[in-house]
């Protein structure tokens, strides 16, 4: 019985799933697109929006992307992951675009592998590589004066990543 | 004589705010370098100077750091102004 499952699992082709969406991310869907009968582990990373930035309260974040290039850069990240961790089965990377309220997920990554080590290492590598190479930008909308209608415009700043280009 | 081609220039994040454009079609020289390209974009939009030293370009969806290496553009190519990334 278990050998049939193993065979069935290894027959299943590996998947790289990359998506950008202005809808809230479904963690359940990210997880279920990575889970595999041949794997004993799915490692998950979820990036969420923080309520403080440079000492000010954040109202929301706004993301924009160079969408076709995000897909080509993240496909290259998937290829890197597969050459570094050949046992990795499925990779699912979903990033949200547009307005993202505080405490909601802006990015979700799920990676499966037969044993947990590869999946965990690959997920850590994947989020670092995404931050370094995916052309995505977040604008932080901070609260400065709650009475000012224009603050959302005036106080928005483009966050600069501390990770430099390669 | 350098040939000029019509190239689509895309502006993202702060560069879109500085120029007031998300994209525009610009005649650019076929044989150039990323440094010269940036200088031409600065001529078009002097406000982009605020991004000097932090910007890279993407030519046909490949990152190109500002430098002197030769760059060949073709008709209909896409060049993007890429301020520091902040995804995740």
Q: Consecutive sets of 10 residues in chain A, 166 residues long: mean pLDDT of each?
A: 42 94 98 97 95 78 96 98 98 97 94 98 98 96 57 59 39
Q: Mind telling me how many Å the CA of A14 is from chain B's nearest CA?
A: 24
Q: What ipTM goes with this model?
A: 0.95
Domains of chain A: 2-52+65-136 (3.90.1170.40)
Size of interface A-B (CB pairs under 8 A): 75
Other CB atoms within a 10 A radius of the CB of residue B14 amount to 22
Contact list in B for residue A47 (CB cut-off 8 A) is 88
Round to the nearest angstrom and report the end-to-end CA distance of chain A. Answer: 48
pLDDT recorded at residue A143: 64
Domain ranges, ordered by start, for chain B: 4-82
Residues 18-57 of B with CB under 8 A from A: 54, 56
pLDDT recorded at residue A98: 96
Q: pLDDT digits over B11-63, tens only? A: 999 999 999 999 999 999 999 999 999 999 999 999 999 999 999 999 999 99
Q: Is B66 an interface residue toward A (CB < 8 Å)?
A: no
Distance between CA atoms of residues A47 and A66, nearest Å: 20
Residue that wins the pLDDT comparison between B1 and B50? B50
Query: What is chain B's Cα-based Rg?
Result: 12
pLDDT recorded at residue A2: 39
Q: Is A133 an interface residue toward B (CB < 8 Å)?
A: yes
pLDDT recorded at residue A3: 39
**Contact between chains at B87 and A65 (C-beta distance less than 8 A):** yes
Average pLDDT over residues B71-79: 96
pLDDT recorded at residue A6: 44
- Domain B4-82 of CATH type 3.10.20.30: yes
Contact list in A for residue B51 (CB cut-off 8 A) is none
Least Cα distance to B62 among A150, A96, A76 occurs for A76
pLDDT recorded at residue A156: 66
Output DSSP code: residue B50: G
- pLDDT(B71) > 60: yes
Other CB atoms within a 10 A radius of the CB of residue A94 amount to 22
**Contact between chains at B82 and A163 (C-beta distance less than 8 A):** no
Q: Is B82 an interface residue toward A (CB < 8 Å)?
A: yes
Q: Mind telling me how many Å the CA of B64 is from chain A's nearest CA?
A: 10
**Contact between chains at B83 and A137 (C-beta distance less than 8 A):** yes
């Amino acid at each position: 019985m278990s050998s049939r499952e193993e065979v069935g699992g290894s027959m299943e082709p590996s998947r790289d799933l990359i998506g950008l969406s202005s809808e809230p991310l479904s963690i359940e869907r990210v997880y279920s697109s990575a889970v595999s009968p041949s794997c004993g582990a799915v490692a998950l990373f979820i990036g969420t929006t923080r309520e403080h930035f440079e000492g000010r309260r954040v109202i929301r974040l706004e993301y924009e992307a160079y969408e076709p290039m995000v897909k080509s850069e993240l496909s290259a990240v998937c290829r890197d992951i597969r050459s570094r961790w050949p046992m990795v089965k499925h990779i699912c990377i979903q990033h949200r675009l547009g307005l993202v309220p505080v405490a909601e997920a802006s990015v979700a990554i799920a990676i499966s592998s037969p044993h947990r080590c590869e999946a965990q290492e690959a997920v850590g590598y994947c989020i670092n590589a995404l931050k370094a190479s995916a052309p995505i930008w977040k604008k932080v909308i901070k609260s400065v004066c709650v009475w000012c209608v224009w603050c959302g415009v005036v106080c928005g700043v483009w966050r600069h990543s501390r990770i430099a280009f390669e | 004589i350098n040939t000029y081609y019509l190239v689509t220039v895309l502006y993202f994040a702060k560069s879109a705010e500085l120029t007031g454009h998300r994209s525009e079609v610009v005649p650019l020289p076929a044989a150039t370098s990323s440094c010269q390209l940036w200088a031409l974009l600065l001529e078009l939009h002097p406000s982009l100077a605020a991004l000097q030293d932090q910007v890279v370009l993407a030519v046909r969806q490949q990152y190109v750091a500002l430098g002197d290496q030769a760059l060949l553009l073709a008709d209909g190519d896409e060049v993007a102004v890429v301020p520091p990334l902040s995804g995740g």
